[in-house]
Amino acid sequence: MSKRRSGLKNDQRAYYCCPHPRPQICNPITISLTDIATVIGGSYHLNGDTTIQSCEILEFEYGIELVIYPYKLINRGTINNTGVINNVSNSNGIINKGIINQNGIGSILNYNGGIIDNTGGTIDNTSGFINNTNGAIYLGDGSCGIIGTITSGGTISGNLPSDTCP
């Protein structure tokens, strides 16, 4: 086994042995909607295709709406939603590989052609609401990645999530 340096400055240098690198330490960073979106007509609209990284947490509150149009939202971190995520039809959709917490009064509107790829992700809809009327939520079937989950003590209306790949 050979040792490789990480390339960090001397006082931050880390060593790891191949083929198993040392686990990455995550120091969570909270980001706000103003970091990724602009207010238009009272709602926040994505500024462009956006990725929430694995150590990032996006939080927004009751009464706040995040509109996903015409861009794509990729979540690898955590979204704590007590507002509304509005995945407008004809958007490039939501790809969730992380966690979306819908505890409380949070809701996801994914109707009229909206697409959510939750393959490998978790949507905790313990007491939230998901409107999936004429939308599609893909959980995967194992061939396209880890099967995603939706925990639900909340409500899902419209189409049931599908155990298929996007």
pTM over cut 0.85: no
Helix, strand, coil percent values for the chain (each to nearest 5): 5, 45, 55
Return the pLDDT at 23: 65
Q: What is the CA radius of gyration of the chain?
A: 18
Return the pLDDT at 16: 45
* 10-residue averages of pLDDT along the chain (166 residues): 45 48 79 96 95 95 92 96 90 92 89 92 93 94 94 90 94
Question: How many CB atoms within 10 Å of residue 7?
Answer: 8
> Please, what sign has the CA dihedral across residues 51, 108, 61, 120?
negative
Strand partners, 151: 124
Q: How far apart are CA 27 and CA 164, in angstroms?
A: 34
